[in-house]
Structure 1
Amino acid sequence: MTEMQKTDVAIIGAGPTGLFAVFECGMLKMNCHVIDALDMIGGQCTAMYPEKPIYDIPAHPSITGGDLINKLEEQAAPFNPVYHLSQQVSKLEKQEDGSFNLETDKGTQINAKAVIVAAGVGAFGPNRPPLDGLTQYEGKSIFYMVRKREDFRDKRIVIAGGGDSAVDWALSLADVAKSVQVVHRRPKFRAAPESVSQMQQLAADGKIELVVPYQLDGLKGDGDQLRAVVVKDFDGNTRDLGADVMLAFYGLSQNLGPIAEWELELDKKHLSVHPTSMATSLAGVYAVGDIVTYENKLKLILCGFSEAAMAARSAHAYAYPDEELHFEYSTSVGVPGE
């Protein structure tokens, strides 16, 4: 039988908010175990846009998703968090003493005095276009995310989609790709207006091609290597777009997974929390980041950081009810090793 590991706080989710929760708990002298279904920390920042700049992180006029995660990992490191990656929490059971037993789908067992759920959009995956033979190209010449822009240097790229990801990567990859063609079913794009204007200017300058209004119709290739993407207009006319790579950006499918079975109050696939304590409907369980909802909630990383600080203090009060906690600034107490 797997040995039960004990900790002060179990944090479900290793995205930016979960990582900052490690730091906030550490500053309150609570140790943490962190569980995430991905094989790496960072959540969507690592999986979806590691090289994409983020502009609204305080004190960083611009920082990539990957660099932000590296900094957060470094910030949490003095508190020695234990990471359990590539596994999902399948069971959460409250014990008579108020603590929680967690079990993952890989058999890892953890007893925690409190729990912070920082699972982002939950278990997520791409919305796939309904094309025959799609799976044989996935991971080889069809992708749903860009981890390294250099991987696409000198490639003929077809980008499918009309949202921010499609537009942003069209702008970014235009500098390194042999060609970029953007396929969308209508001329209007659902992205930041300034970004759309920049993309349209690139098209006017002949640096990329906007293939609109068209939709995906088929794939041609050899083995797992794509040769062309077939598109069709609304009159039924088809075109073959020569391609080495297709990037499909049709958003993410959200699945709370086992979290939905834990008898926590839900509001449209989000956890309802008290906005000043981040408490869920189950005492001792707190939630932060994109997975939570409350009046006037903003889905911003910087708001998640604030929520992590509040959740850590609430978790300390629950885990150590007889210990009086005095508010102190980090400038006064420092961090371990300084």
Structure 2
Amino acid sequence: MSNQQELFDVTIIGGGPAGMYTAFYSGLRDLKTKLIDVNPELGGKMLFYPEKIIWDVGGVTPIQCRQLIDRLKLQALTFDPAIVLGEQVVSMDRQEDGTYMLTTAAGNKHWTRTVILAIGYGIRKLAKLEIEGADRYEISNLHYTVQELEPFRSKNVLISGGGDSAVDWANALEPVAAQVTVVHRREEFGGHEKNIALMKASSVRVCTPFTVSQLHSSGGKRIEEVTICHTETGNTERLVVDAVIVNHGMRSDFGPVRDWGLDMGERNVNVSEKLETNLPGVFAAGDFVNYGSKVRLIAGTFTDAVLALNSAKLYLDPEAPKTAYVSTHNERFKEKNKALGLLKS
């Protein structure tokens, strides 16, 4: 094979938390590792919510999403995996010798002995506000993500949505904005219970079950008022706003992945408790997987990564230890600890 067709032990498709932690753990297990992601940078769906505060990662106090991404990136690069960004894998073909050839939309080919799929819910696009002409305000005060809190200081902010991110944004903006109003089409919210309770106990105005039905602008450049409509009675109310934030979830597209012969449901691939797919040498981790004891938290994603990689290691070498030694006894960390000044020579 040429250098461009270099054979890797493990190729990870997907650069979110699952993919990044798998890259780290693969290096820890001394495997030649490559990671391919369709995005121009690592982070996965977390890139949509850089200001979101993450509370549920073990051993990590509340942390901004962008900071967690940075830490995961740094950890992923510990053992110098090959990183390929901005490429979408469109085919996965098993060769006669049992290895796989991965082909990207650009026509580039990647060769690997095993594959770990960490693609989340596929290529994700934010669901837009379904009101005619809404897109004209995207350059002014209609937002689909919150990059920074400061631009909303002392503003009247309306948030449309009822999931985790909508609730998190409401809680984050409440001490910053003049007024936060959350409009949700259902009575019940889909976020974590504690965060919902915090939002309802604060000064955030919660309007349920309502939807945003009209956007109003005297000059056509900025949204100045919003009409919300009660989903059951049809009654309407007109609110003065400085900014509108829409969080209606994401639309997922698995594209050609569905043609790869995987045992897939609507949103996930079915795997064993060892994170094995139905295809030999192909494993999966993170939001993409479905199995009986699956935990849909970032903490659960890290466990998925370890289980999938250990299965890949044993697939390549059935005589290998079933798992890596803990970091305090792992030879791969000794020199790194010395370099960091954490271990006496």
Moved more, 9-18 or 76-85: 76-85
Q: 1:189 to 1:22 in 2, by over 3 A?
A: closer
Correspondence for 2:286: 289
Q: What do residues 164-187 of structure 1 show as CA deviations (whole Å, max 9, x unaligned)?
A: 322221111012223322222355
Q: CA RMSD in A?
A: 2.5
Residues 38, 86 of structure 1: 8 Å contact kept? yes
- Amino acid of the residue matched to residue 118 of structure 1? A
Q: 1:224 to 1:62 in 2, by over 3 A?
A: same
Instruction: Report 1:61-100 matches (<5 A).
Output: 61-100=61-100
SS at match of 2:78: helix
Match of 1:43 in 2: 44
Are 1:132 and 1:219, in contact at CA under 8 Å, matched by a contact in 2? no
Quote how far apart the aligned CAs of 1:19 are. 0.5
State the SS of the aligned residue for 1:78: coil
Asked whether the 8 Å contact 1:5–1:109 carries over to 2, the reply is: no
Cα deviation, residue 258, structure 1 = 1.7
**Residue identity (%):** 34
For residues 16-54 of structure 1, what are the alpha-carbon distances to aligned partners after superposition, in whole Å with 9 as ceiling and x for unaligned? 11101011110122232222222321112222x323222
Tell me which residue corresponds to 1:249.
247
1:212 CA drift (Å): 4.0
Deviations 1:178-220 (A, max 9, x none): 33222223554343443333323323xxxx4334443211223
- CA distance in 1: counterparts of 2:78 and 2:189, whole angstroms: 44
Summarize deviations over 1:33-78 as a string: whole Å, max 9, x none.
Answer: 222222321112222x323222221112423322222212111222
| Structure 1 residue identity aligned to 2:212 | L
**What one-letter code is carried by the residue in structure 1 that aligns with 2:264?**
L
**Corresponding residue number in structure 2 for 1:315:** 312
Could you tell me which residue of structure 2 aligns to residue 329 of structure 1?
A: 326
Residue 5 of structure 2 is matched in structure 1 by 4
After TM superposition, the score normalised by the length of structure 2 is 0.86
Q: Is the 8 A contact 2:27 2:79 kept in 1?
A: yes
Cα distance, 1:266 vs. partner? 1.4
Contact kept, 8 Å, 1:78 with 1:337, in 2: the verdict is no
Partner of residue 24, structure 1: 25
What is aligned with 2:125? Answer: 125
**Kept in 2: contact 1:162–1:184 (CA 8 A):** yes
User: Deviation at 1:134?
Assistant: 2.0
Q: Take 2:305 and 2:39, find their aligned partners in 1: how far apart are those partners?
A: 21
Equivalent residue in structure 2 for 1:304, among 275, 297, 301? 301
Secondary structure at the aligned position of 1:11 is classed as strand
Deviation at 1:304?
A: 1.7
Question: 2:150 & 2:4 partners in 1: Cα distance?
Answer: 44
1:176-187 alignment, distance < 5 Å: 176-187=176-187
- The amino acid that maps onto 2:216 is K
Alignment of 1:133-144 (within 5 A): 133-138=133-138, 140-144=140-144
Counterpart selection for 2:256 from 258, 264, 267: 258
Question: 1:270 offset after TM fit, Å?
Answer: 1.2
Residues 31 and 79, structure 1, Cα contact 8 Å, conserved in 2: no
**Structure 2 gap ranges (5+):** 338-345
Structure 2 CA distance for aligned equivalents of residues 182 and 107 of structure 1: 45
Partner Cα distance (2:223, 2:33) in 1: 45
Q: Shift in Å at residue 255 of structure 1?
A: 2.4
Q: Is the 8 A contact 2:52 2:165 kept in 1?
A: no
Please say if residues 31 and 80 of structure 1, whose CA atoms lie closer than 8 Å, have aligned partners that are also in contact. Answer: no
Question: CA–CA distance in 2 between the matches of 1:244 and 1:151?
Answer: 11
Structure 2 counterpart of 1:146, one-letter code = V
Instruction: Report the CA distance between 1:115 and its aligned residue.
Output: 0.6
Give the aligned residue type for 2:260.
W
Contact between 2:53 and 2:168, CA under 8 Å: does it hold in 1? no
Amino acid at match of 2:249: G
1:133 is displaced (CA, Å) by: 0.9
1:267 and 2:265 correspond = yes
